[in-house]
Structures are given as structure tokens and as C-alpha cells.
Amino acid sequence: PRPMDVLHSKIKDTKAQRETIKVGESVVHWFKRDLRMFDNRGLSQASEKAKEAGVPLICMFVVSPQDYQAHLTSKARVDFDLRTLEVLRADLGELDIPLYTTTIDKRKDVPSHILQKFQEWGAKHVFCNIEYEVDELRRETKLIDTCLQQGVDFSPVHDDVVVAPGSISSGTGKQYSVYSPFFKSWVKHVHEHPHLLVESPAPSANPEAARKKFKALFDCEIPSAPANKSLSAEDRERLASFWPAGEHEARDRLDRFLAEKIKSYQAVRNLPAANSTSLLSPHLSAGSLAARTAVRLAQQANSSKRLDGGSAGITTWISEVAWRDFYKHVMAHWPYICMGKAFKYEYSNIEWEYDDEAFRRWTEGTTGFPIVDAAMRQVKTMAWMHNRCRMIVACFLAKDLMLDWRMGEKYFMENLIDGDFASNNGGWGFSASTGVDPQPYFRIFNPLLQSEKFDESGEYIRKWVPELKGIEGKAIHDPYGRGAQKQAEKAGYPKPMLDHKKCRERALERYKVGLGRS
């Protein structure tokens, strides 16, 4: 059975028993990837419970270095989460709600530590929002039982996605593995269940006595990042200026995007130089913005009441947020993708090159293909990359360089500020043709044509590959092939590391052989 189904059954089977538990001296909300007060299902329920019983709400967050290792969490992401926590701690403090934070090295020690804290705080009810990765689902299932043995009601709640995994399926009852019918069904489901978009009430202030009673918890400082996940001071400052953290920033960014950019989103979202997307992915990944909030507010900005009607910009953007749901549903339904396996297992037989030098040039942005290099350097500076460029560099890695797509997937997780297993795995699977609803294996992006089409004036390239700044016209896309050889050489820009045409042939052959079709 799937870990998601096991968790659902456990929640259902233990409901009656958990309902007999009386409220203790406090109620706990355990924050994970839901770092916000606004529109947070688990937090709202915890606050409601505490309010009903007139006991304090305590919030907690555990930093687990081993967890960061296991999830390949980037330094940028760890830093963003910790900055987000600072904002959260301050906001909760204004409501006299403490945020207990601690560092627990080993993941296996987290459950026993938090249980000990529940006992210490006399908490009989604990809420958290569900994460859909395998290990987390299994941990939460176990925690329900362990907590029950100690008389504690542990309640994992759906919050991270608009539509919970398992609640929509195709006409034949199967999980969707193609996006368009999924989206149709997603829209229908949300229209039929309007509560899915309803905002959860913000937590109520704690009784004043909570400050006295749990004084030590109010003094808890946000832990620093583990040594191997710490940014240099310079990187930290740069990333903080690109990516201010916290839910207020997320809301401001969303409001600005809705007011200024969403209407033209469909027309220009593929142009990396246009700065036309919301840049909300770090917030959606850290949970400083709920996908539900994003969809609700986008819908309110629309002239149509339908999620798939009215402004094309708005519906397209909503459908992008729904891609995020789609990949989480896929992960919950086919958990083997969390274990390094291709969604399409028949694609497991492809012969990859294991060429460290080629991989290094890809990561450094010195492939000699300006659009690829610009994108890879954008990651180095911003810990973020435009979606079109993610597809270009992923296709380049898997099909031009013939490197195992999992190397790229890992590099992205280790370097992106918005690293999210399901979306990243989905994006790599799409580009390498090994994933769910992928581009067909014979669709191989020509990096030069992609560059001409989506960065026509070369503005994006000039920004991120400054040594090519002086090259004018179309030569920017291919300086060595279009008469700007001398300038490129002088600027120290490398020659293309491969011949795309030949590599394309190689990829087609390797995929065919791997699939047993040659």
C-alpha cells in the first residue's frame, strides 16, 4: 500500500479513539513547510482547539541537519527558511504565541524529542500539515500511533496543495498521469468544493498568562544553519536582497503581480528577460504563501467566476500553480519516484555518459552555448532560474550531454532556493522524457533556436554572460557560428563544447536502444 493511503487509513481508523482525548494544558502546531500564520489549515485548527479550551497554543519548528542532507536542501533554501522563521516568530510573539525551535541532528530522533516536549507542555492535541514525500508520510503515520499510546491526539492536515492527493481520479478511477485531463478535473473539483479555496482564520492571541507560563519558549532563538548548509556572509546578503523572506513579503509580491503582471502572463511568461513571472516559488516552497491563497486571489482578480475562464493570463497562471498540485499527486501516488527511479521505468535502460568534466562545464555555465550558460549563471547568482531556461538546460544535460538526468535533478535541489522534490523531479522527468506527461524522447530542444525564439534580442544572455555584452545582433546566440568569433575569443568565452546535430543523433539512438526500439 502507498504511504499516502496508509496515512489516510490511519487518520480514519484512529478518529474515534482520538476524539475521546480531552484537551490538556496546551495545544501544539508543528510547523514544517508551512511557515506562515495566514491561511494555514493546521495552524487554524490548532488555534481553534486551544481557543475552545482556553489553553495556550504553542508552535514548534525542528531544524534537522540530517533531513537537509536527505532532501539535498540548498544552502539558499535553508537560509530562506530560517529568515522566514524570524518573521513568523515575531508575528506569533505579537499574539503571545511562542515558537519553540531546536536542532536535532538525526532525523530518527525527531519523533521522540517532540513527544517529550508534548509531555513537558501538557499538550494532548498536536496539529501539523502533511508533507507528501514518502519518509514524511511514514513518519506521520507512525507518530499517530506513538502519540496515541501516550494519550496524545496527533492530527496531520491537508494544506500544502489546493486539492489533496487522492481526491481526484480519471473516469476509470485511476490517478492522472497526463496534465490536461488532470487540470480539467482539478477545476471541476474545486468548483464543486468551494471550501477548498476558503481562507483559514488566522490564529487567535493566546491568553496573557501564556507568556508567563511558557516564558522559556518565548526566549527561544531561531537556530543557525548547520555548518555544511551555511552561506557565506556575502552570499547571504546578496540572496536576502533578491529574496526578502516572510509571508508579508509573499503577499506583497503576490498583490503586485496580480495588479501589474498577471494579465499579460500568458503572452510573455516564456521570455526569461521579461521578468514576467511571479517569482513566488521560494514562498510556495517554504510555505510563506499557500497555493490556496494564490489561486483564490488570482481568481478574485478575474472577471470570470470560473478558474478556467476570463483573462487568459489569470487562467494560465492558475494552471501553473495547479502543475504544482499535479506533481504532488503524482509523487503521493507513485512514491517510487522518491527513490531515484524514473516514473517511466522502461526508460531506466538508457546508457548515460558519466563525464565529470562535461557536468562541471554545465554547472559552471561554460558550455559555449550562451543561453545555457546564462541560465546556469543565473542560478549561481540568484539560486533561481526562469522556467523556460530550466527546460532548456535540463534538455541540454540529458540529451546533448547525455548525462544522467538525476545528476541535474540533484544539482538543482542543491542550488535552487525554491527546490521542491515533486516539481523538480517532474520538471526533470518532463525534459529528459523519463517522467510523467513528458515531452516525447525525440523532441530535443535546439539550444540556438530556443535562444533566438525566447531571448530574441539577447538581453537575458547579455545580463548573465557579461563577456558577450559587446556582441550585437543575432551573433549573441551563437558567437562562434555567426561571425563574432574574434570578439568571443578575446572576451575569453569558450567555443561550443559539442555539435548539437551530432549529439541529437546520439541521443535518438541511445533512447531507441534503451527502449528496445532500434
What's the rounded Cα separation, in Å, for the pair 88 and 96? 12
| Shortest Å, Cβ 294 to ligand FAD | 7
Annotated catalytic residue within 25, 199, 352, 446:
352
Q: Does 404 bind ligand FAD (CB under 6 A)?
A: no
Active site residue 387: yes
Q: How many CB atoms lie within 10 A of CB 233?
A: 8
Residue of this chain nearest to ligand FAD (CB atom) = 427
Q: Does 432 bind ligand FAD (CB under 6 A)?
A: no
Query: Residue 58: enclosing H or E segment and its boundaries?
Result: strand 57-63
Q: Does 424 bind ligand FAD (CB under 6 A)?
A: yes
Q: Does 155 bind ligand FAD (CB under 6 A)?
A: no
**Residue 186 · residue 192 · CB < 8 Å:** no
Query: Residue 129: enclosing H or E segment and its boundaries?
Result: strand 123-129
Active site residue 186: no
| Shortest Å, Cβ 60 to ligand FAD | 25
* CB-count burial class (<10 Å; 0-12, 13-18, 19+) for 56: buried
Residue 260's SS3 state is helix
Of 199 and 320, nearer to ligand FAD (C-beta) is: 320
Of 335 and 427, nearer to ligand FAD (C-beta) is: 427
Buried-exposed string 106-118: b where 16+ CB fall within 10 A, e elsewhere: ebeebbeebbebb
Give the binding-site size for ligand FAD (rule: CB under 6 A): 28
- Name the phi and psi angles at 99, rounded to 5: -120, 105
* Backbone CA torsion sign across 229, 233, 239, 243: positive
Of 391 and 436, nearer to ligand FAD (C-beta) is: 391
Annotated catalytic residue within 30, 121, 186, 323:
323
Among 5, 48, 86, 320, binds ligand FAD (CB under 6 A): 320
Q: Does 390 bind ligand FAD (CB under 6 A)?
A: yes
Of 110 and 432, nearer to ligand FAD (C-beta) is: 432
Q: Does 269 bind ligand FAD (CB under 6 A)?
A: yes
Number of Cα atoms under 13 Å in the Cβ half of residue 410: 10
Of 320 and 459, nearer to ligand FAD (C-beta) is: 320
Query: Residue 62: enclosing H or E segment and its boundaries?
Result: strand 57-63
Among 431, 434, 450, 451, binds ligand FAD (CB under 6 A): 431
Number of Cα atoms under 13 Å in the Cβ half of residue 466: 0
Active site residue 405: yes
Q: Helices (H), strands (E): how many in the chain?
A: 25, 5
Of 157 and 254, nearer to ligand FAD (C-beta) is: 254
179: Cα separation from own chain's centroid: 18
Q: Using CB under 6 A as the criterion, what x/- string covers residues 95-134 for binding ligand FAD?
A: ----------------------------------------
Q: Does 285 bind ligand FAD (CB under 6 A)?
A: yes
| Rg of the chain over all Cα atoms, to the nearest angstrom | 24
Query: Can you give the length of the chain in residues?
Result: 518
Q: Is 334 assigned to a binding site? A: no
Active site residue 323: yes
Please report, as ranges, the residues that interact with ligand FAD according to CB under 6 A.
Answer: 269, 277-281, 284-285, 320-321, 323-324, 327, 387, 390-391, 394, 412, 416, 418-420, 423-424, 426-428, 431
| Active-site annotation, residues | 320, 323, 352, 387, 405, 428
The binding site comprises 265, 277-281, 317, 320-327, 418-420
